[in-house]
Amino acid sequence: MGFLPEPLEAQELNARHADKFKKSPERVLLDVILVFKDVFSDPQLKEKRKQIKQLFIKRDFKSIFTDPILLPIYAVEYLPGRALCYRDIFVKINELCNFLEKGGDIMVLGGGNGAEVLGISAAMCTFEQPVKLTVQDLSNYGTLDTLVGSIHQTYGLENLSVESLIGDLMDESKVLEYSKIFKQHGLITAMFLLNEILTQSKKSFVLLITNLVKSMKKGSMLLVVDSAGSFSEFEVGASDKSYMLFKLLDAIQGFKCLASFDSVWYRYPKEVEFPLQLSNMRFFLRLYQKI
């Protein structure tokens, strides 16, 4: 267990950021989220956060992600820690950083809360090539437009465009539709999503992964990040043996693994201040390339 290694290129990128924004990357990223000040000052905030935590413990994801009252709270609660971590990933993994620098189309699966959008924006804020994000999610959080507005105000980023696509990835009738969209993207991300889908239905999980492997064009990449803890353990077949989600993914034919970390930490810098308690994150990471 440890941290993602920091290549020289990441240090250079941070130096370019400091030159352009005169504040630390973490400070600038968190300032973007301050646009949601109404959520932070909601008198019911504590109660609603508790409710979300309890639903997570029960693995009752649907009750969180379909409740219009809990959704904006979830979005703002998890956005800071996740977006900081995702920036770190996109800056430190060379293949991802190079992708952003060259420009291209990214599909973000289950990304309606905006964590990937903010993390990626922060990582590419000194790059100039066009990047288009298609943000797919089951839920409409109602917060993405405000977040994207704040991102453009803070970072400029005329080269970034964001499109939202609401739909259920487990919907069997949409396999062909998704297949066409997967084909069009050079990078697809699934962050803290596959675990949820596998918990709900093994069949849907297999269908989604099969569709990804079959549809993605050669050379395109799939980034998977998810919990490194027992949340990602699953029993397979009739045996009582359980496997980590990444073991199931590693066994898939058709993907080459470009980056692999079974358990790493992202720890936010202690000096940054924010209205909500920030969380450190422990996760596993896989970056696959379609061969």
Ligand X SMILES: C[S@@+](CC[C@H](N)C(=O)[O-])C[C@H]1O[C@@H](n2cnc3c(N)ncnc32)[C@H](O)[C@@H]1O
Interaction site with ligand X (CB under 6 A): 65, 78, 82, 110-113, 115-116, 137-139, 168-170, 191-193, 196-197
Judged by DSSP in three states, 35 sits in: helix
| Shortest distance (Å) from residue 268 CB to ligand X | 15
Please say which residue, 26 or 137, places its beta carbon nearer to ligand X: 137
| Shortest distance (Å) from residue 158 CB to ligand X | 25
| Shortest distance (Å) from residue 277 CB to ligand X | 16
Please say which residue, 176 or 238, places its beta carbon nearer to ligand X: 176
Please say which residue, 11 or 280, places its beta carbon nearer to ligand X: 280
Residue 221 token pair: 């990449």
| Shortest distance (Å) from residue 240 CB to ligand X | 27
| Shortest distance (Å) from residue 140 CB to ligand X | 9
109 touches 189 (CB < 8 A): yes
Please say which residue, 197 or 244, places its beta carbon nearer to ligand X: 197
DSSP-derived secondary structure for 214-261? HHSPTT-EEEEEEESSGGGEEE-TTSS-EEEHHHHHHT-TTEEEEEEE
Distance of CA 178 to the CA centre of its chain: 19
Please say which residue, 15 or 187, places its beta carbon nearer to ligand X: 187
> SS in 3 state form for 149-206?
HHHHHHHCCCCEEEEEEECCCCCHHHHHHHHHHHHCCCEEEEECCHHHHHHHCHHHHH
Please say which residue, 25 or 111, places its beta carbon nearer to ligand X: 111
| Shortest distance (Å) from residue 10 CB to ligand X | 21
| Shortest distance (Å) from residue 118 CB to ligand X | 10
Q: How far apart are CA 98 and CA 202, in angstroms?
A: 34
Closest residue to ligand X in the complex (CB) = 110
Q: How far apart are CA 137 and CA 168, in angstroms?
A: 7
Judged by DSSP in three states, 68 sits in: coil
Write the CA distances from 224 to 24, 114, 190, integer angstroms.
27, 16, 5
Q: How far apart are CA 187 and CA 109, in angstroms?
A: 11
Residue 6 token pair: 């920091």
| Shortest distance (Å) from residue 238 CB to ligand X | 26
Please say which residue, 192 or 284, places its beta carbon nearer to ligand X: 192
Q: How far apart are CA 110 and CA 189, in angstroms?
A: 9
Please say which residue, 100 or 191, places its beta carbon nearer to ligand X: 191
